[in-house]
Structure 1
Amino acid sequence: MIAVNIGKTFLKSFNEKYEKTYNAKEFFIEEYFPLFFDEEKYMQWVTNSPLVQGIKKGSPPSAVERRRKLDVLIDKISNTTADASIAIGFPSLDITATTSGQISSMKIPYKEEDVYLSWIGSGLGIGIQGGLSIFFDKPKLLLDIYDGWKVYRAYLNKTPKLRANQINTWNGQWLAHRYDKRVFDPEDPTAMFNGISVAKDGGLEVATQSWTMVLIGVARTFPDSQLTGYVYNLGQTNTTVGFIPFRLPHIKRPVDLYEKYFGTSDVIQVEKLFATAFGFLKACQFGSIGVNAMQPKGLQDFIEGKLPVFKEKDEEKKLNFQSYLIWTLAMLNNEQLWERAQQFAASLSVYALSSTKGKMDKTNQVKEVLSAISQKQFLDHLIPLVKDNAGESMHEIAQLIHMMPKDNVPYFLTLIRLHYAFITK
């Protein structure tokens, strides 16, 4: 029933922006139905609804049949109890159905207006990889999604091979494109849009966008906000993840840091590397979505003490390496530690090279320091270097680690390991 609230927020904002006075039913009949359902290709498929009942694959309903289906839907909304077939997100009234889990003996009050609002709201879900969608109850964002509806309709009408019924997937692609100021042109909204891909059957489909790319775009547009999103999936079975806080300034932080330290030339490729360590559902288990949920794939090994190797000539691995550096710095949330880690890594490199010819004693000592994963382990391994008068930086870094919050220690040690790999490449 969250779709009702989303529809209400949107309709109020729509009426204000376009100086309309639509109620939900009027908007559905005059705006939503013609755009979504009054064409051979639907933009949305609502299982068991009158709008899809009786439709056979390859035989789209005629204009007359579509209007007849609309009349049936309007009649059912007016004269029957609301269920999942006529109200989006409502439960099935059949207790054996896979969408019946929301059934309650309590009488939940609703109005006919709410049913139409649920349809409107359902078209504003943001589909992302993993089969989930997000509702954001933010007027400006919802109006930006609405701007993409007509673009999707135009794509469907002019592209015979393009798969229908992908509105939520489209919304995810559209927002990522709409909120990327590097490519979006208001005068030509589809310029440089690359959200269409080849499907397994040889046709075309809207590709599912990663949650990272969608949320980085949202964070760029609303940089000082924390949004609470409702994460869900509506289909043959319904999935409810629940309300998740999205900490947009934290989501934006790694991108800002990358641009500062490495420039903008590869930033789009690096954005795709964030949050690849696990899927979106797993990320939701953090309780909120911020920097910690954006960990790049492969970095965990280095957090656990593995020594990285930097290969500058391998462009893909170079970008991965840069994403590791930036994410680790973002987790520390202290840019001064970037230089401190660099300086210490350089001192370790000098110390390792000072070994007597043919001996590996100092190199091995450095490896022990670099492989430490805890405060105590690091300080213990640093003692031989301090005794050997390896430099003032050894004393300073020991003091810094000793005073550092324990949660930050693994990330700072990882930053040192990464800088050491870069320096000794």
Structure 2
Amino acid sequence: MNQPASLPLVAALLDAPLPISGIAWLDAARQENRAAFAAGGLPDARVEAWKYTALRGLGQRRFASGDAAAQTRAVDPSTLAIPGVTGARLVFVNGAFRADLSVLDQLPAGLSLQPLSQALRGDAEPLRFALSWPAVVGHVRDAGDAFAQINAACASDGVVLRVAARTRIDLPVQLVFVGADAELAWHARNMIELGEGAELSLVEHHVSSGAPSQLATLVSDIEVRDGARLHHVMLQDTSAGTHLVRRSSLHLHARAQATLHVLELGGALARHDLRAELIGDGAQLHTRGVFMPHGRQHIDTQLAIRHQALHTTSTSHWRGVANDRARGVFRGAIVVVPGADGSDASLSNKNLLLSAGAEIDTKPELEIYADEVKAAHGATVGQLDERSLFYLRSRGIPLVEARALLTAAFCRAVLDDLPNEALREHLSALLIAQLPDA
């Protein structure tokens, strides 16, 4: 770990004033997390999870803290709209809730959706376990948890979403995080819970207004109770100057099901730690993802799945495409703990390099400590199939178009099981727009 005093970014984050809530346990937890960050600083290559993602350049930056103008910054409403997503919407600009851009009227029965800043002004006790961690549970964080620590210290807004037991929300709910204009650091925290037997479709959208140069962190805790079903689409398409570090933690209880479709397209540095724990018998997790760095982008996905109960299932299919001098990183780790008999786990990561200067580092991991388990994992890195290119060109299709067709088909494979047709076509169009012109 780097010494905090040697890095301008760490110094700036430590100098920033902490939010004061007036809630004793929350303010104490914020102080504790900032102290932990001060003691450890930023992770370096000696931390295994950050081996392929250097923070030297980012560490030399300084970002202002907070945005006094967040409530009045202009945001084009068209950047928030997504085809096939017409339900409730919660919008944050530079980490601050924007009521004028949100759609919260006529929420369906059984859906509770509010910004964290409002929830803390009411009865904050139900949020104590999540927000005071690790103070309450005594958990010692990993050496690479610096951004989670600074998020726990600095986040004052985010999403509190609950779906009541045995409630089905028919229209997708949209959460939008906009980075706008200013060069600053902002942080947000989400708490999402589906009650027993509940069903929800959730779209998480990260986008920029203008071309801001920012550091943003987002931590999401997602609880899927017995028999509940979550379909979660995550679309990250931020500006070329954005450094976005996210952590999404899912807990799946007995017979719960979660399906994730993840697209990582934008940002200078985009890092996503996606952690899932299958803690109830019969829980199922299905993840599908595409990361497409180009230019000098660096996109890093860390997927960690723990099977902790009987007869749990996970399937993960991820695709990476890198062009120019971009770099992609994918680590997929599956652990089947003792006693999790009958688990069925599979992980696949296939990658394409579209230029000589592009790089993708992929590392599948599999640890099994239980009996009667089915498990498989694999990873490939290569180029477009020359025989397929020759076939298309022999039928009069120009080389550039043939390359685009094959690459688009390679990426769209992970979207085939997305049930919302309008949303599926929109995401496919974004993938195609990301492809090189030559």
TM-score, scaled relative to structure 2 = 0.26
Structure 1 or 2: larger strand share?
A: 2
TM-score, scaled relative to structure 1 = 0.26
